[in-house]
Structure 1
Amino acid sequence: MAAATMGAVRVLCGAEKERVVGAHKAPGACPRCGGAVVAVDVESERRVLGLPLCLKSKRKYSCTRCLRRLVTLCG
């Protein structure tokens, strides 16, 4: 019963779906292990009541050796 309720809440409030658009090698090395860095382009789509609300594109960086997610520092 609780799982069905959570599913209904996700549909009404707007669940977010992500899909990978592309991946490529990024410059630099992982500060933890020195492994290669990969950049993954991800599109996320938020829907409310089945209707698309917004589409966002993000670029996520991670290490290929230790699988650690890396964050860029701006400014």
Structure 2
Amino acid sequence: MCLVFVCGEDERVVSRQQAPGSCPYCGGMIQAVDVDSRWNFCFVPLYHKTKRRHYCTMCSRKLVVK
């Protein structure tokens, strides 16, 4: 008997916006990205959340906002 569980996470970018301030590493512009993430189990959605992430446009670093 063989059981195969198909699990996965799908992420897609919903929107991009310019954020105030500059990157502390290179001084580039910061971009706020809204990401829609979903966890699926055998094609049945279990979890859905929209997250906002901040990235530098020049050095592509992920920035943490406190």
TM over 0.5: yes
SS across alignment from 1:15:
strand
Q: CA RMSD in A?
A: 1.1
Aligned length: 63
Partner of 2:32: 39
1:19 and 2:12 matched: yes
Identify the structure with the greater helix proportion: 1
TM-score (ref. length: structure 2) = 0.88
1:28 and 2:28 matched: no
Question: Could you give the per-residue CA deviations for residues 43-69 of structure 1, whole angstroms, max 9, x where no partner exists?
Answer: 001011110111111011010111111
Identity %: 48
Distance 1:39 1:29 in 2: 12
What are the residue-to-residue correspondences of 1:1-75 with 2, within 5 Å?
A: 8-9=4-5, 11=6, 14-73=7-66
Distance 1:31 1:20 in 2: 24
Question: Could you give the per-residue CA deviations for residues 17-75 of structure 1, whole angstroms, max 9, x where no partner exists?
Answer: 000000010011000111100000000010111101111110110101111110112xx
Distance 1:46 1:65 in 2: 31
- Greater than 6 Å deviation, 4+ residue runs: none
Identify the structure with the greater strand proportion: 2
